[in-house]
Structure 1
């Protein structure tokens, strides 16, 4: 019977965690929590011999049922930000009721935990969930994950190679971007080993980069001159609004850009290498993979 459960198993991070676990333990030891077992990604997971358990963060009873017999729970933070707080409370309480032994939670990197943070709307649920876990009596590992390296092209803009400009109000701030694959390999190692009980890890890169440095790297890789422009927040909002970008997307990117500018994501760490024995993919390596040729 499965003793490791992955929530959000059909998401981009969850799928990679399942795949990484399958290289470390038998499929019979793994269960995947899904909302829709008929979804293509869920069917693929089941085809690998992994047990599917149907549940939803908003349905407490389904969580208690899904968590039965589970000793280690990989808890992927919810993506429904307006409703995330009660959903996360459901997960922690259900884990306690079901007798889960250890929760590995995907939190996020930050410095400023007050309401003055430009990403306070994202931070609140993470901060409270960490507190709930620490007071739950369950053994935990908190993964304070930096921004996804996979999303770097979104920050650069889909037309960056045409315009030759990275346009983002991130100032000179640096970010320790980490790929989902490296995050997944770290999680799988933690889920299949000991020594990570009641610990918090900064899941970030070994080197952080500013967008000016990213522009320099991209220029060297592609042979095209790429410039970085950091506009004022007002100019950024006006420019993107005129370009027809939805207001919620502008607010989200502006918030993270301001967080970067204020140093929220500049921390570096060798935790991935220390736990997995492999160095995470760096920004230059990723840029070569995506933009070379």
Structure 2
């Protein structure tokens, strides 16, 4: 085969797991807008959300699918040629992905599977602190399991690695911003990305005929923002037109987020500490820009768009 010839079929049907979420929903919107002829099947693990999906996406099929319920997975993937896979933090990935692999192999119709992961590239698992291992729900310990299982499956998988923090994580931080005009979060260095850009990247890869994406591990960030939260607070000050201070202390974090994260809050902090110790690995790249054919959304633009929601 000539190296210049693309050979991946465009899926005629696509299943989107997590279709009610901040990536799955804009992915469904993008695919319907760009290629309304593609059959969309939208999956949620919450049966009570299916009516919402049917109302918001009347052109699509809405189904219940649970990674820990093999029959529901077999039904969801039946006949699907494209499959977008995302899990929530806290998912026990070994049984979840084992079930999904079994269901996909039984269906034998997938021509492109996109799996979202969040890893520091090429991280040595032996360097993960025991405290992080003990809180096994966190990404450094779970997502390597995902990659191992899917690699061994020989399914046509492309990994979309979120080498960044999602900009909409700031919605977690609104209490401090609204009450004290204070950004309370760990001060590790990290790139940024808007989840809507992640959704469009996924959509464009599904619609690409370039077979070379199969088997690849693409790390995504917006290619522009690589900063600490103390720097983000300075940017907020510029954008919002009022002083935003920053608190990057452990005490401040636990006081602010123990209710939100519950008993997992100390583990989340330890995860951030682990990322800080390895933050030199992060590098801005242009994969998202090349895939979208435009500049990704910058943090400044995102803050301008959402200023009122963050502050009031």
Deviation, structure 1 residue 81: 1.2
Query: Is contact 1:168-1:257 (8 Å) kept?
Result: no
Q: Deviations over 1:68-113 (max 9, x none)?
A: 222221111x226153431122112211221122210011131544
Quote the residue 1:198 is aligned against. 215
Deviation, structure 1 residue 149: 0.9
Q: Counterparts of 1:223 and 1:20 in 2: how far apart (Å)? A: 34
Quote the residue 2:285 is aligned against. 269
Quote the residue 1:133 is aligned against. 150
Query: Is contact 1:89-1:129 (8 Å) kept?
Result: no
Indicate which of 68, 90, 104 corresponds to 1:58: 68
Quote the residue 2:231 is aligned against. 213
Indicate which of 40, 43, 59 corresponds to 2:54: 43
Q: Deviations over 1:267-289 (max 9, x none)?
A: 32211111111221111111122
Q: Counterparts of 2:55 and 2:284 in 1: how far apart (Å)? A: 35
- Change in 2 beyond 3 A, CA 1:197/1:225: same
Query: Is contact 1:37-1:43 (8 Å) kept?
Result: no
Quote the residue 2:5 is aligned against. none
Q: Counterparts of 2:157 and 2:51 in 1: how far apart (Å)? A: 31
Give me the CA root mean square deviation. 2.7
Quote the residue 1:92 is aligned against. 101
Aligned residues: 285
Deviation, structure 1 residue 46: 4.2
Which sits farther off after the overlay, 80-89 or 144-153? Answer: 80-89
Query: Is contact 2:22-2:196 (8 Å) kept?
Result: no
Query: Is contact 1:108-1:126 (8 Å) kept?
Result: yes
Query: Is contact 1:37-1:52 (8 Å) kept?
Result: no
Secondary structure of 1:33's counterpart equals: strand
Query: Is contact 2:112-2:206 (8 Å) kept?
Result: no
Deviation, structure 1 residue 181: 0.7
Query: Is contact 1:179-1:281 (8 Å) kept?
Result: yes
Q: Counterparts of 2:27 and 2:132 in 1: how far apart (Å)? A: 26
Quote the residue 2:167 is aligned against. 149
- Change in 2 beyond 3 A, CA 1:20/1:160: same
Secondary structure of 1:279's counterpart equals: coil
User: Structure 2: 5+ residue runs without aligned partners?
Assistant: 1-10
Q: TM-score, normalised by structure 2?
A: 0.80
Secondary structure of 1:105's counterpart equals: strand
Deviation, structure 1 residue 119: 5.5
Quote the residue 1:19 is aligned against. 29
Q: Counterparts of 1:192 and 1:109 in 2: how far apart (Å)? A: 25
User: Structure 1: 5+ residue runs without aligned partners?
Assistant: none
Asked if 1:228 corresponds to 2:239, the answer is no
- Change in 2 beyond 3 A, CA 1:133/1:101: same
